[in-house]
């Protein structure tokens, strides 16, 4: 009986720790969202799909500081408004005959 109680206590402690981590992550996400002016965030894969480019190309855009990005829990995100500005700027260059980035 003592072993069962000890196992249940251990399980409770484990679950409490996991819930605390989830709570912390949700708290950070809410505050990050408000910090970013409630702008929607796009992750790296979605940006690749949207622009029709590879992950390496998006990495090059970041390295050249052509598009602002944010790292949240080791994952890269972009503000939708920044992506729109980048996209409009890039399309303007293409229309002017300059295909370079």
Whether the Cβ atoms of residue 42 and residue 78 lie closer than 8 Å to each other: yes
pLDDT tens, 2-41? 999 999 999 999 999 999 999 988 887 777 666 667 778 8
Cα–Cα distance between 61 and 14 in angstroms, integer?
Answer: 42
CA neighbours closer than 13 Å in the CB half-sphere of residue 93: 10
- The full set of domain ranges for the chain reads 1-35, 41-93
52 backbone dihedrals φ, ψ, rounded to 5°: 70, 40
pLDDT tens, 33-76? 666 677 788 999 999 999 999 999 999 999 999 999 988 878 89
Given the DSSP bridges, would you call strands 41-43 and 75-79 parallel, antiparallel or unpaired?
Answer: antiparallel
């Amino acid at each position: 009986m003592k072993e069962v109680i000890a196992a249940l206590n251990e399980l409770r402690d484990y679950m409490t720790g996991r819930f605390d981590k989830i709570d912390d992550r949700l708290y950070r996400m809410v505050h990050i969202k408000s910090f970013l002016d409630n702008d929607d965030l796009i992750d790296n894969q979605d940006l690749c799909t949207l622009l029709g480019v590879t992950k390496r190309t998006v990495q090059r855009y970041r390295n050249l500081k052509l598009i602002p990005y944010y790292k949240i829990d080791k994952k890269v995100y972009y503000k939708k408004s920044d992506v729109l500005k980048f996209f409009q700027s890039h399309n303007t260059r293409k229309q002017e005959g300059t295909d370079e980035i």
